[in-house]
């Protein structure tokens, strides 16, 4: 029986009870399945009933993970048909809990593990996949130093690469047979993991410096040599590594940092929408970022670039951005500032009169003094925006844009129900996690999800369809506008961003805009007579493919 075990154990080709009587005979599966032959819809209906029976989201995650490893079409059928319900299970926020449990709950994994202690294995690890140079569109890699807002999870962070890829496929139809998830195991500084008998990763501290940089270089060289058409997506690296890797390599490799670029772009979408309500330009904004790491400064970069496009000089744009981090307002007299914060440090002389507590200018003081029009939270500090801060924000401007973006739920700076009530419904809000609408004073406030998952799938698909050699700033902007153009935020309570239910259509629209931009900028390497059709054709659908024996 050479081929039957392969077909029925290959999650990409397995179809379980949907194998027909003929196929069962042909594939040596006679007697290996119950008599009923089901349709994909019938299978999906049973799966939906099964998953609905689990009490916790983590149990649902495990169920879906096992289905993923058994029957990929059925897995995606279930997710695509119930996108808004399933995305929080396979992705943010439940994935954070799954990552914490990963070594304890280890089952099996489709990822490629690259260890910094065995650099000579990198090429062989990819080669073991049996994929040729034209077989891969996308590789998602993480070293798991800053998983969501829950910190360093070492090899446990493997699931973030798998989860991000699942969203690419569910949300934008990126072909699941043409993607690779990678964990870079460079050690961990998480003492709990290092001292847990269950931990499955390298048992040493994170390697830093030249050895780390050499390992990243090796990854980039090998992955791009073996899969020259693939987009190399970086996820949840630590702040200085994330930025350095992107800046040093974006002209050489087709790379994308989701936390900086994807998040920056989805925030741009939310701000585009909010400015339709306030009828202001970017040049008029005052931006305060609370938590100035990878994501926060990525947003500051994109919003200040928008201010410059709106006519400000670079210095004028910088003068409209304030960062608050663990040591309070970032000022130019602070020593040891990382370069991404130093770029936005305020002159100490400018804030000499501002109130200080324990020697630092806290968020409340900064909000009261600056009167920001946009307040972003990427601090990982749950309740980082208490009532006094939100009220100070609302006292400063009529319709403040409030984006508490930290993930997962245990990290969000303020829950929208509180923020809506503390601002009497005036704040224009979007969050990183999915949240239910807020009912306040007779109005339903739909809270858009400003999570990069609402943007990066379409961006990736557009990059793949256009064969873009680079992900340019223009492509990010085109994606951001394409997302924002899908909503009318002007009614009271309207969402700033498209609903997750419409994510597949939204991703197709984003992909088209991105591919057009790539062509316009001359970075596209493909030729399509009809770009709309090319995007549609590129979108993988969860239907059983023809069985190739």
Ligand X SMILES: NC(=O)C1=CN([C@@H]2O[C@H](COP(=O)(O)OP(=O)(O)OC[C@H]3O[C@@H](n4cnc5c(N)ncnc54)[C@H](O)[C@@H]3O)[C@@H](O)[C@H]2O)C=CC1
Question: Which residues carry out catalysis?
Answer: 91, 164
The reply on whether position 259 binds Mg ion by CB under 5 A is: yes
H/E run at residue 49: helix 40-52
By CB under 6 A, the residues from 226 to 245 that bind ligand X are 239
Q: Is position 152 an interface residue for ligand X (rule: CB under 6 A)?
A: no
Residue 202 binds which one of ligand CC(=O)C(=O)O, Mg ion, ligand X, none, with CB within 5 to 8 A depending on kind?
A: none
Among 234-242, 283-291, 322-330, 459-467, which window interacts with Mg ion (CB under 5 A)?
Answer: 234-242
Q: What is the dihedral of CA 420, 480, 92, 13, to 10 degrees?
A: 150
Pick 295 or 305: Cβ nearer ligand CC(=O)C(=O)O: 295
Q: Is 460 in the site for ligand X (CB under 6 A)?
A: no
Picked from Mg ion, ligand CC(=O)C(=O)O, ligand X, none, the partner binding residue 292 (CB below 5 to 8 A depending on kind) is ligand X
Q: How far is the CB of 456 from ligand X (least distance, A)?
A: 9
Cα 4 to Cα 249: distance, rounded to the nearest angstrom? 44
Which H or E element spans position 304? Answer: helix 294-309
Kindly state whether residue 159 participates in binding Mg ion, applying the rule CB under 5 A.
Answer: no
Contact positions with ligand X (CB under 6 A) in 359-388: 378-381
Q: Which of 159, 185, 236, 446 binds Mg ion (CB under 5 A)?
A: 236
DSSP annotation of 206 reads: P
Output the smallest distance, CB 500 to ligand X, in A. 13
Stretch that binds Mg ion, among 191-199, 232-240, 393-401, 490-498 (CB under 5 A): 232-240
The C-alpha atoms of residue 144 and residue 236 are separated, in whole angstroms, by 6
Report, in Å, the least distance between residue 50 CB and ligand X: 30
Least distance between ligand CC(=O)C(=O)O and beta carbon 291 (Å): 12
Q: Does 269 contact ligand X by CB under 6 A?
A: no
* Residue 422 CB contacts under 8 Å (≥ 6 apart), including other chains: 387, 390, 391, 394
Tell whether residue 152 is a contact of Mg ion (CB under 5 A). no
Q: How far apart are CA 105 and CA 116, in angstroms?
A: 24
Residue 450, contacted partner among ligand CC(=O)C(=O)O, ligand X, Mg ion, none, CB below 5-8 A by kind: ligand X
- Token representation of residue 53: 């029976």
Nearer to ligand CC(=O)C(=O)O among residue 164 and residue 254 (C-beta): 164
Member of 144, 181, 370, 450 binding ligand X (CB under 6 A):
450
Strand ranges inside 186-317, DSSP E? 231-234, 255-257, 287-290
Pairing of strands 428-431, 438-440: unpaired
Residue 420 interacts with ligand X (CB under 6 A): yes or no: no
The nearer residue to ligand X, 285 or 449, going by C-beta atoms, is 449
Strand segments, DSSP code E, in 23-96 are none
Calculated CA dihedral for residues 172, 56, 60, 58, nearest 10 degrees: 80
Number of other residues whose CB lies within 10 A of the CB of residue 106: 14
Cβ distance to ligand X smaller for residue 156 or 379: 379
Residue of closest CB approach to ligand CC(=O)C(=O)O: 407
Angle at 174 between CA 186 and CA 172, to 5 degrees: 110
CB of 87 to ligand X, least distance (A): 13
Residue 520 half-sphere exposure toward CB, CA atoms < 13 A: 11
* Closer residue to Mg ion (CB): 99 or 484: 99
Residues of the shown chain interacting with ligand CC(=O)C(=O)O in the complex, contacts defined by CB under 6 A? 92, 148, 236, 258-259, 407, 432, 451-452
Separation CA 191–CA 200 (nearest Å):
14
d(CA 178, CA 174): 8
Contact pattern for ligand X over residues 301 through 340, marking x by CB under 6 A: ------------------------xx--------------
264 makes contact with ligand X (CB under 6 A): no
Residue 467 binds ligand X (CB under 6 A): no
Q: Residue 461 in contact with residue 535, Cβ under 8 Å?
A: yes
The residue whose Cβ lies closest to ligand X is 293
Q: Cβ 181 to ligand X, closest distance in Å?
A: 18
> What is the secondary structure of 421-440 as a DSSP string?
HHTTT--EEEESS----EEE
- CB < 8 Å & 24+ apart, contacts of 275-281: 276/489, 276/490, 277/399, 277/428, 277/489, 277/490, 278/373, 278/398, 278/399, 278/401, 278/428, 280/373, 281/310
**Is 92 near Mg ion (CB under 5 A)?**
no
Please report how close the Cβ of residue 266 comes to ligand X at its closest, in angstroms: 6
Rounded least distance, CB 303 to ligand X, Å: 15
* Residue 209 Rama label (left phi>0; alpha psi -120 to 50; beta): left
- For 156, the token pair is 């446990």
User: Which residues bind to Mg ion, rule: CB under 5 A?
Assistant: 236, 259
- For ligand X, the binding residues (CB under 6 A) are 146, 148-149, 239, 259, 263, 266, 290-296, 325-326, 378-381, 405-407, 411, 432, 450-452
């Amino acid at each position: 029986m050479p081929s039957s075990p392969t077909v029925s154990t290959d999650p990409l080709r397995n179809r379980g009870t949907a194998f027909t009587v003929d196929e069962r005979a042909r594939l040596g599966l006679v007697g290996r399945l119950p008599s009923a032959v089901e349709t994909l819809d019938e299978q999906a209906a049973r799966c939906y009933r099964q998953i609905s029976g689990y009490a916790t989201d983590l149990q649902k995650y495990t169920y879906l993970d096992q289905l993923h490893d058994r029957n990929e079409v059925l897995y995606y059928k279930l997710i695509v048909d119930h996108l808004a319900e399933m995305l929080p299970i396979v992705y943010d926020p439940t994935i954070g809990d799954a990552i914490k449990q990963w070594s304890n709950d280890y089952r099996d994994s489709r990822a490629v593990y690259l260890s910094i202690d065995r650099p000579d294995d990198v090429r062989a690890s990819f080669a073991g996949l049996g994929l040729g140079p034209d077989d891969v569109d996308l590789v998602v890699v993480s070293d798991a130093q800053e998983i969501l807002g829950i910190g360093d999870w070492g090899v446990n962070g493997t699931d973030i690469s798998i989860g991000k890829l699942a969203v690419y496929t569910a949300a934008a139809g990126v072909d699941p047979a043409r993607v690779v998830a990678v964990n870079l195991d460079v050690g961990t500084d998480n003492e709990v993991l290092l001292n847990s008998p269950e931990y499955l990763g390298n048992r040493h501290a994170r390697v830093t410096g030249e050895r780390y940089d050499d390992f990243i270089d090796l990854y980039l060289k090998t992955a791009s040599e073996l899969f020259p058409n693939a987009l190399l997506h970086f996820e949840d690296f630590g702040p200085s590594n994330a930025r350095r890797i992107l800046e040093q390599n974006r002209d050489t490799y087709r790379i994308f940092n989701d936390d900086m670029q994807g998040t920056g772009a989805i925030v741009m979408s939310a701000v585009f929408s909010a400015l339709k309500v306030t009828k202001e330009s970017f040049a008029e904004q005052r931006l305060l970022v609370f938590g100035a790491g990878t994501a926060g400064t990525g947003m500051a970069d994109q919003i200040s670039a928008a201010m410059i496009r709106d006519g400000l000089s670079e210095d004028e744009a910088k003068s409209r951005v304030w960062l608050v981090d663990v040591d309070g307002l970032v000022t130019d007299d602070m020593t040891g500032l990382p370069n991404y914060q130093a770029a936005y440090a305020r002159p100490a002389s400018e804030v000499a009169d501002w109130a200080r507590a324990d020697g630092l200018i806290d968020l409340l003081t900064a909000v009261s003094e600056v009167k920001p029009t946009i307040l972003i939270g990427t601090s990982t500090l749950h309740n980082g925006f208490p009532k006094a801060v939100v009220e100070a924000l609302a006292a400063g401007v009529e319709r403040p844009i409030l984006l508490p973006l930290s993930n997962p739920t245990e990290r969000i700076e303020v829950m929208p129900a509180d923020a809506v009530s503390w601002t009497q419904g005036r704040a224009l809000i979007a969050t990183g996690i999915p949240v239910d609408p807020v009912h306040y004073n007779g109005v339903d406030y739909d809270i858009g999800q400003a999570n990069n998952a609402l943007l990066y799938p379409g961006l990736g698909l557009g990059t793949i369809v256009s064969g873009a050699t680079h992900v340019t700033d223009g492509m990010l902007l085109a994606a951001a506008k394409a997302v924002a153009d899908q909503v009318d935020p002007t009614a009271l309570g309207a969402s700033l961003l498209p609903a997750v239910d419409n994510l597949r259509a939204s991703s197709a629209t984003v992909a088209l805009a991105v591919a057009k931009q790539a062509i316009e900028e001359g970075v596209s390497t493909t030729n399509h007579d009809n770009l709309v059709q090319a995007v549609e054709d590129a979108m993988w659908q969860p239907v059983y493919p023809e069985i190739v024996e």
